[in-house]
Structure 1
Amino acid sequence: MRVFRQLQPAQRRNLSILFIAGLLFWASLSSLLPTLPLYVSDAGGTPQQIGLVMGAFSIGLLASRSWLGRLADRRSRQIVLLIGMGVVGLAPLGYWLSDWIPLIALVRAFHGISIAAFATGYVTLVVDFAPEEKRGEILGYMSLVNPIGAAIGPALGGFLQEFAGYSPLFLFSALLGLVGFVCTRAVREQRPEQMGSLSVDLPFWSLLGSPKVRSLTLVMFLVGLAFGTQTTFVALLIQETAVPMNPGLFYTAVAFASFGVRLLAGRASDRFGRGPFISISLATYALAMLILLGANSMGAFLLAGVVVGSGFGTLIPLISALVADRSSPIERGRLFSLVMCGFDLGIGLAGPVLGTLAVGSGYRAMFGYAALLSLASLVYFLAFSNPGRGASLRFALGLGPDEFSQREVVDDPQGRAGPSEKLPEPSAPSREGSPTAVRSRRL
């Protein structure tokens, strides 16, 4: 890809190592997605207990996000990345050693630390290595580790569980994580300058007082509730509807669709702005939940997987890019951790809360609630993504700039706004009456 050929050799080397480590991480984690709920069910778990076990993942996420974000900003992104790879390699061994549901829940909580650490370390390192004007494109390409790993992991995980049992599955998942740990040690990070608009000494949760991250955190909380419903209960919905289908195929469909959109969305957002693509992704995710609400065949579940992948494959890379746009290097780890805390909390609440509803109404009804939550996230983003309703709506529809951005942006004569190359501030307008202006904001 041309954008990578333009980088310095050290940047290409580091990004290549990160990409390999990312593939191993997501393959390890996703190999358990279609099988762990079934493992808990086979151990005698009720729908509510399955929801509690799967939701325990977010306990580790939420408990570790704050100190991992500070560690990434104050000490080292690589250390945080190593923590994530180490945990994803050790946690499957915990499942292997126990079939007692409370202990499984405890291991699941420990497993949650892996995403908190890996996501924070991976995104901040990628942004550190990426030129600002190509940030969205490189993040889009580097985020392909998620769909590729998620295409490999669930299919292999489902196959191993079905034909060899749970023990080989857990050992396979652990091996992938430990190999990724070895790869991650070869990364050579570059430390950011010790400057930023938010003090390193501010208490982590006080950062919610900053509107540039508060709005994104709430959007991600609502999406997390819907996402937690999907990841926890879609395999059980397939089982309940008696559709003869390996649940891993659903996640494979998600991964392939996610792969395609990530190739395009990041580069387009560098040119046209992040807002319209985030809005489209939220609407798409709501549509996916509605498809799952009525799914009763393999084709319907695969279609839902494609739509889920299209929405989610756009949302996460562009939210990450938007956080990077709104932050300086020394605060980036904490702000990304805070925004993703909203997502983590949503996932954590989705399992136990909606699992309780499933006791009386079955698994299908939960996806109707998930569709409403996804629509609510879209409405909130349209109204509160920027200061003022008008500015928010314009940004979300691609008709105006992000008022919180610390990047340089260009407003064109058609009223659209997009990030620019780093251009020098002109001493005078290039032509009379031109509405073009170069601005830089730091909030």
Structure 2
Amino acid sequence: MNSKNASVHGPKLWTRNFMFIIIINFLVFVSHMMILSTFPFYIQSMGGSVATAGLAAALFSLVAVICRPFIGWMLNNGKRKTILLIGIAGMALMPLGYMAISILALVFVARMIHGASLACSNTTSSTIATDIIPKERFAEGMGMFGVSTALATACAPALGLLLMGCLGYNVLFLSATGCMIIAFVLFLLLKAPKISVKKTPLSFKQLIEKDALPASTIMLVFLFTFGALENFTALFASKNGLPSGGIFFTIMACMLFVTRATVGKVADKKGEGTFVYTCNASMFLAFLLMAFVPNTVTFFVAAVFAGYGFGGLEPALQSMAVHIAPPERRGSANSTFLCAYDIGIGLGGGIAGYLISGLGFKWMFAILSLANVVSVILYIVWGRKHPSSFSYAKNVQVEAII
């Protein structure tokens, strides 16, 4: 009976270690997103402006981007658990640093160290996940792994805003550290697969995985919109008399969960193109609603659109970026994709901050919605014709049969 089920459903996906790495990744992003969504308020409480908050977001992502290629190279050389431990430790300590710091310039320094710690944590957790997931169920497995990121990304901002508003920044930061302590306990229980790797010298070629570039670039452009949402939705709601940003992120979380639970199987069968088109269209509509029809109903509808947009596109494109990489290149493939992730969110947050300061929320949303159009164009011109595309692979198989 068991062998029959295995033949029908493929190799076992839900192993003990797969569940551990999913929970660790979830806790990493809960810690990260609780602080990200509240950081503009924290910066303003220390005398900074909205533009200053945007700069903090950009610096956080810049450091992560600089670190990720080198982290990918170390992962390629087999340093999986060591790098994960460094990331967890840094993410546990930095929130405590925010509690102790009283000078704005030092906050920026701590924020940059925090960015490096996140880069270590989630580049490694993604790479370990790709080591664990059976090849036959790769997109499905990455989709389920992505549920942890999605739920944290959507739920943690609401939790962070609640803790900040009701209990203050110290409790918020202690909670972020507490998440990482739990992650450390799970880290001790995790047994990462032993991957045979050939150690390679450090070079530019080893830092970037070229087959991951199409998916990474398409995601980078899309994330201009999501970076703006994550950093400034709560502020937008408070300035426009709308329900709290926490409610927006909670609605988005529900849609994210529904989307992520199904995206992998669809991508395995039909390719990533469906999600590139529909998810960009969904986020585009969300931004137009927030720009030109800002009321309670459209605010909630935009949360649903945004939840589907991010929830569907990120795992589909991460699977595209990584699935043809050999084990010894998975670290670089993941770091390439996550560099794009950081650049997109960082630039999105930074650009949004300056657009809000100069033109207001309305034109910030309107201008950044154009990123969705560019993302689709990049896929049509480059991504769908690249060997890393699931759709391309299926077309080649069909042609071979014919």
**Kindly tell me: are residues 371 and 402 of structure 1, through their superposed partners in 2, closer, same or farther at Cα, counting changes over 3 Å?**
farther
Q: Is the 8 A contact 2:143 2:260 kept in 1?
A: yes
Query: In structure 1, what is the Cα distance between the partners aligned to 2:207 and 2:97?
Result: 35
Query: In structure 1, what is the Cα distance between the partners aligned to 2:225 and 2:157?
Result: 20
**Kindly tell me: are residues 70 and 187 of structure 1, through their superposed partners in 2, closer, same or farther at Cα, counting changes over 3 Å?**
same
**Kindly tell me: are residues 59 and 151 of structure 1, through their superposed partners in 2, closer, same or farther at Cα, counting changes over 3 Å?**
closer
For residue 134 of structure 2, the aligned residue among 131, 140, 151 is: 131
1:287-324 deviations in whole A, cap 9, x for unaligned? 22222223522332222122111111112211221122
Query: In structure 1, what is the Cα distance between the partners aligned to 2:207 and 2:26?
Result: 32
Tell me which residue corresponds to 1:253.
251
Q: How many residues of Structure 1 are paired with residues of Structure 2 in the alignment? A: 397
Unpaired stretches in structure 1, ≥5 consecutive residues: 404-408, 416-434, 438-443
Tell me which residue corresponds to 2:339.
341
**Kindly tell me: are residues 63 and 200 of structure 1, through their superposed partners in 2, closer, same or farther at Cα, counting changes over 3 Å?**
same
Tell me which residue corresponds to 2:393.
401
Higher RCO (CA 8 Å, separation ≥ 6 residues): 2
1:238-258 deviations in whole A, cap 9, x for unaligned? 122122x22122222222111
C-alpha displacement of 1:79: 2.2
**Kindly tell me: are residues 209 and 128 of structure 1, through their superposed partners in 2, closer, same or farther at Cα, counting changes over 3 Å?**
closer
SS, match of residue 356 in structure 1: helix
TM-score (norm 2): 0.89
**Kindly tell me: are residues 237 and 178 of structure 1, through their superposed partners in 2, closer, same or farther at Cα, counting changes over 3 Å?**
same
Most deviating of 168-177 and 296-305 = 296-305
1:309 counterpart = 2:307: yes
Which one-letter code corresponds to 1:383 in the other structure? Answer: V
Which one-letter code corresponds to 1:374 in the other structure? Answer: N
**Kindly tell me: are residues 234 and 380 of structure 1, through their superposed partners in 2, closer, same or farther at Cα, counting changes over 3 Å?**
same
Query: In structure 1, what is the Cα distance between the partners aligned to 2:173 and 2:301?
Result: 29
C-alpha displacement of 1:24: 1.8
Q: Is the 8 A contact 1:124 1:333 kept in 2?
A: yes
SS, match of residue 230 in structure 2: helix
Tell me which residue corresponds to 2:156.
153
Query: In structure 2, what is the Cα distance between the partners aligned to 1:84 and 1:304?
Result: 34
1:357 counterpart = 2:355: yes
SS, match of residue 31 in structure 1: helix
SS, match of residue 296 in structure 1: coil
Tell me which residue corresponds to 1:384.
382
1:130-180 deviations in whole A, cap 9, x for unaligned? 111111111111221123334542233222211211111111111111221
For residue 83 of structure 2, the aligned residue among 80, 83, 91 is: 80
For residue 114 of structure 2, the aligned residue among 83, 105, 111 is: 111
Which one-letter code corresponds to 1:357 in the other structure? Answer: L
Residues 24-423 of structure 1 aligned to structure 2 (within 5 Å):
24-194=27-197, 200-201=200-201, 203-204=203-204, 210=210, 212-243=211-242, 245-387=243-385, 398=391, 400-401=392-393, 410-411=397-398
Q: Is the 8 A contact 1:77 1:121 kept in 2?
A: yes
SS, match of residue 68 in structure 2: helix
Which one-letter code corresponds to 2:397 in the other structure? Answer: V
1:436 counterpart = 2:401: yes
**Kindly tell me: are residues 319 and 202 of structure 1, through their superposed partners in 2, closer, same or farther at Cα, counting changes over 3 Å?**
farther
Q: Is the 8 A contact 1:123 1:320 kept in 2?
A: no
Query: In structure 2, what is the Cα distance between the partners aligned to 1:297 and 1:381?
Result: 33
SS, match of residue 380 in structure 2: helix
**Kindly tell me: are residues 306 and 383 of structure 1, through their superposed partners in 2, closer, same or farther at Cα, counting changes over 3 Å?**
same
C-alpha displacement of 1:81: 2.3
Which one-letter code corresponds to 2:334 in the other structure? Answer: F
Q: Is the 8 A contact 1:262 1:314 kept in 2?
A: yes
1:94-151 deviations in whole A, cap 9, x for unaligned? 2212243222222221221233222221222112111111111111112211233345
Percent identical pairs in the alignment equals 27
C-alpha displacement of 1:380: 0.8
Query: In structure 2, what is the Cα distance between the partners aligned to 1:122 and 1:274?
Result: 22
**Kindly tell me: are residues 372 and 151 of structure 1, through their superposed partners in 2, closer, same or farther at Cα, counting changes over 3 Å?**
closer
**Kindly tell me: are residues 281 and 78 of structure 1, through their superposed partners in 2, closer, same or farther at Cα, counting changes over 3 Å?**
farther
Which one-letter code corresponds to 1:367 in the other structure? Answer: F
Which one-letter code corresponds to 1:366 in the other structure? Answer: M
After TM superposition, which residue ranges in structure 1, 4 or more long, deviate above 6 angstroms? none
SS, match of residue 33 in structure 1: helix
SS, match of residue 163 in structure 1: helix
Larger radius of gyration: 1
Query: In structure 1, what is the Cα distance between the partners aligned to 2:301 and 2:95?
Result: 30
**Kindly tell me: are residues 160 and 140 of structure 1, through their superposed partners in 2, closer, same or farther at Cα, counting changes over 3 Å?**
same
C-alpha displacement of 1:206: 7.2
Query: In structure 2, what is the Cα distance between the partners aligned to 1:149 and 1:34?
Result: 12
Q: Is the 8 A contact 2:26 2:152 kept in 1?
A: yes
Q: Is the 8 A contact 2:150 2:256 kept in 1?
A: yes
C-alpha displacement of 1:225: 2.2
1:23 counterpart = 2:22: no
Query: In structure 2, what is the Cα distance between the partners aligned to 1:45 and 1:221?
Result: 28
**Kindly tell me: are residues 22 and 39 of structure 1, through their superposed partners in 2, closer, same or farther at Cα, counting changes over 3 Å?**
same
TM-score (norm 1): 0.82
